[in-house]
Amino acid sequence: MTNKNTVYLTQQGLDDLKKELDDLINVRRPENVQAIKEARSLGDLSENAEYDAARNEQAQIEARIVQLEKMLENVSIIDDAATDTVSIGNTVAIKYVDDDEEDEYKIVGSQEADPFASKISNESPIAQALFDHKVGDIVTVESPNGSYEVEIISIK
């Protein structure tokens, strides 16, 4: 279901990455270049903490730009339309068979995963177990802490 190089994003996630890349290229990079120029003007570079800090920041900015550009080259937009079977982009309500506790998760690409916002990665054990199953199916989830069963209540 997933290609290792493909980055799965919702449209919002794609927009956020493009905005971050734009900010890095058009705001942070020029600010950093100016900071380097100002630090150079202070004199001896061998003992210039401002210069070292600005160069370190430059390395971080450039690395993130490369990372974002590579991600954007391999992006696949998640279609979050409702389907009969669970797939990436769906919001799935489940009930844990052992204790009747219920949870709802949106399955997103790993870049957008945020467990505190109930967004789980398509690479997570629970998402992998749910894929291609329907409402009413009871699925066994193999996790690092052992296996457990969940029932699919709804797919949105």
pLDDT, one tens digit for every residue, the chain (156 residues)? 445 688 888 888 899 999 999 999 999 999 999 999 998 888 777 788 889 999 999 999 999 999 999 999 999 998 766 678 999 999 999 999 999 899 999 999 998 999 999 999 999 999 999 999 999 999 999 988 899 999 999 999
How many structural domains compose the chain?
2
Statement to judge: residues 52 and 104 lie in one domain: no
Task: Confirm whether 130 is domain-assigned.
Answer: yes
132 φ/ψ sector (left φ>0, alpha ψ -120 to 50, else beta) = left
Statement to judge: residues 22 and 52 lie in one domain: yes
Give the pTM: 0.71
Statement to judge: residues 73 and 103 lie in one domain: no
Domain boundary pick from 77, 104, 126? 77
Mean pLDDT of the chain: 91
Please, which residues have CB within 8 angstroms of residue 73's CB and are 6 or more apart in sequence?
none
Task: Confirm whether 84 is domain-assigned.
Answer: no
Domain that holds residue 109: 91-155
Statement to judge: residues 103 and 142 lie in one domain: yes
